[in-house]
């Protein structure tokens, strides 16, 4: 298996991009990543996108977007794993290079979510849940994660204040990210007094509906060294993928994210790393409880201690292990197909030492965890600087 490096990154601003289409935001991110890599051609394009048919009425994205980039004829494919579509696109590109099927891959993620009204967006997102056993009975994702939150609170004593601490931290980080949807400082009081959505989750516990695109260029480590031009070379040393039951009713335990734990274990094993060796982490905080549960599932904290870790500042910038320095889905935004790729963009910027005011000093090893639905799938990647 060949070693794989990230040689270019690019992303759009995340937010309500009313004047732009799916293809225009995708092309902006793709061309930015190619320019950052110093390349104008690739062997393959992967596109992570959850539901373009429901959000913008467009399928057949791989062919459409390759043509939009002026690369009609290049091999291209779209992948989908709900909100983990971007992470899966990264894994697909990684696998192509590692296997020797391609030498250079443009990995992209995109979602245009605001071209439909709130009810249609809720329906599109809800298609990532079990339609017969969950959607049919009226449950939505805030309700599903509210049940996970209640289970975690009942088993471990996790509190509303601990969940609020996640939102406060991530909005503070988002203030430092020029690409973030929200540049908004929030307090614990703001979170706890925001509109109730699904008890115990409130509006400021929830990630927003977002438009956006992100892209990275992958190649072999040998070629990356040639293209580096004095920059650190960032490699993908571990990749893990796992699934769990989509239906919450079929899970053995609601207070853990099994797919995340399994994906992380597989990524650690491939990379030969342990959680305590990480310097910076991006996890899938679609809801504040998701960050708490994800940090436990990837082994940063023992089960039941993710909430207190956030409340005690261990996951803040300057803390023991900074989590979601980008602002996370909560503040940066969550264009579902783009999120997993955007996480890798943040880690590459951190490992290159190019993250600006949110830079983690000495960051050399990072982890990105992307999740589909209520944890029915998860992708984990470990990135490292090659010295």
Q: 298 with 347, same domain?
A: yes
DSSP letters along 129-171, please? S-TTTTGGGT--HHHHHHHHHHHHHHHH---HHHHHHHHHHHH
Cα dist from 299 to 164, 262, 292, 303, 325, whole Å: 22, 11, 11, 8, 18
Q: Would you say residue 73 lies in a domain?
A: yes
Q: Are residues 358 and 263 in the same domain?
A: yes
Contacts of the segment 57-61: beta carbons below 8 A, 24+ positions apart: 58/22, 61/110
Q: Catalytic residue, from 83, 171, 206, 286: name it.
A: 83
334 part of the active site: yes
How far, in Å, CA of 115 to CA of 82, rounded? 18
Residue 12 DSSP code: P
Same domain, 289 and 175: yes
* Judgement on whether residues 174 and 271 belong to the same structural domain of the protein: yes
Please indicate, yes or no, if residue 380 is contained in any of the structural domains: yes
Bridging pattern class, strands 211-220 and 201-202? unpaired
User: In the chain, which residues have pLDDT < 50?
Assistant: none
Looking at the structure of the chain, the number of domains it has is 2
| pLDDT (0 to 100) of residue 1 | 92
The helix (run of H) or strand (run of E) holding residue 9 is strand 4-11
- Say whether both 259 and 223 belong to one domain: no
pLDDT in tens, 109-162: 999 999 999 899 999 999 999 999 998 888 999 999 999 999 999 999 999 999
**Active-site residue, selected from the candidate residues 152, 179, 284, 334:** 334
Location of structure tokens 């990543």: 33
Residue 178 and residue 216 in one domain: no
Active site residue 83: yes
Contact 87, 343 (CB under 8 A): yes
Give the three-state DSSP class for 14.
Answer: coil
Q: Of 309, 308, 312, 306, whose CA–CA distance to 292 is shortest?
A: 306
Q: pLDDT per residue over 4-58, tens digit each?
A: 999 999 999 999 999 999 999 999 999 999 999 999 999 999 999 999 999 999 9
Tell me how far apart the alpha carbons of residues 350 and 112 are, in angstroms, rounded to a whole number.
Answer: 27
Contacts 24+ apart (CB under 8 A), 188-192: 188/161, 188/164, 191/163, 191/164, 191/167, 191/288, 192/160, 192/161, 192/164
Paired strand residues for 115 = none
Provide the pLDDT for residue 197: 97
> SS3 for 206?
strand
Same domain? For 45 and 72 the reply is yes
Q: Are residues 297 and 332 part of one domain?
A: yes
**φ, ψ for residue 338 (rounded to 5)?**
-95, -20
Paired residues of 201 in beta bridges:
198
Between CA 345 and CA 381 the distance in angstroms is 12
The whole domain housing 301 covers 138-204+237-386
The DSSP result for 74-140, as a single string, is SEEEEE-BTBTHHHHHHHHHHHHHHTTS-SEEEEEEEEE-TTS-HHHHHHHHHTTS-TTTTGGGT--
Helices (H) and strands (E) in the chain, counts: 14, 11
Q: Are residues 161 and 61 in the same domain?
A: no
Q: Domain boundary at 192, 227, 262, which?
A: 227
Q: Is residue 125 part of a domain?
A: no
Q: Is residue 124 part of a domain?
A: no
Question: Cβ(67)–Cβ(38) under 8 Å?
Answer: no
Q: Report yes or no on 360 lying in a domain.
A: yes
Instruction: Residue 308: name the closest of 138, 203, 165 by CA.
Output: 165
Q: Which of 215, 330, 241 is nearest to 282 (CA)?
A: 330
71 and 144 belong to one structural domain: no
The residue among 113, 197, 142, 121 whose CA lies nearest residue 374 is 142
Verify that 70 and 152 share a domain, yes or no: no
> Does 309 lie in the same domain as 381?
yes
Q: Is residue 131 part of a domain?
A: no
Question: 3-class SS at 266?
Answer: helix
According to DSSP, the residues that pair with 216 across neighbouring strands are 9, 107
- For residue 331, the domain's CATH number is 3.40.47.10
Question: Residues with Cβ < 8 Å from 336, sequence gap 6 or more?
Answer: 50, 51, 82, 83, 85, 86, 111, 113, 125
């Amino acid at each position: 298996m060949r070693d794989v490096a990230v040689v270019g990154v690019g992303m759009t601003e995340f937010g309500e991009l009313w004047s732009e289409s799916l293809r225009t935001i995708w092309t902006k991110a793709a061309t930015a990543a190619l320019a950052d890599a110093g390349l104008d051609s690739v062997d393959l394009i992967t596109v992570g996108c959850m539901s373009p048919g429901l959000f913008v009425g467009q399928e057949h994205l791989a062919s459409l977007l390759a043509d939009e980039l002026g690369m009609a004829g290049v091999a291209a494919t779209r992948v989908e794993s709900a909100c983990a579509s971007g992470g899966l696109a990264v894994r697909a590109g990684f696998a192509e290079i590692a296997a020797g099927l391609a030498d250079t891959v443009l990995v992209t993620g995109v979602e245009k979510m605001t071209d439909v009204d709130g009810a249609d967006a809720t329906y599109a997102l809800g298609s990532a849940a079990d339609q017969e056993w969950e959607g049919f009975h009226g449950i939505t994702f805030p309700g599903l994660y509210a049940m996970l939150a209640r289970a975690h609170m009942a088993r471990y004593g996790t509190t509303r204040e601990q969940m609020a601490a996640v939102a406060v931290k991530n909005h503070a980080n988002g203030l430092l990210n020029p690409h973030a949807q929200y540049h908004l400082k929030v307090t614990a009081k703001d979170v706890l007094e925001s509109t109730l959505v699904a008890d115990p989750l409130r509006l400021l516990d929830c990630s927003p509906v977002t438009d956006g695109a992100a892209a990275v260029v992958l190649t072999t480590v040998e070629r990356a060294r040639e293209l580096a031009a004095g920059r650190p070379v960032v490699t993908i040393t571990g990749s893990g993928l796992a699934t769990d039951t989509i239906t919450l009713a079929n899970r053995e335990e609601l207070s853990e994210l099994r797919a995340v734990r399994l994906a992380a274990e597989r990524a650690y094993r491939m990379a030969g790393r342990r959680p305590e060796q990480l310097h910076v982490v991006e996890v899938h905080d679609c809801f504040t409880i998701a960050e708490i549960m994800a940090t436990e599932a990837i082994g940063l904290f023992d089960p039941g201690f993710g909430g207190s870790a956030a409340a005690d500042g261990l996951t803040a910038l300057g803390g023991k292990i900074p989590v979601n320095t980008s602002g996370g889905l909560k503040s940066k935004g969550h264009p579902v197909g783009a999120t997993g790729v955007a996480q890798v963009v943040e880690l590459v910027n951190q490992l290159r030492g190019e993250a600006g005011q949110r830079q983690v000093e000495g960051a050399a090893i990072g982890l990105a965890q992307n999740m589909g639905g209520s944890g029915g799938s998860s992708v984990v990647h470990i990135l490292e600087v090659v010295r």
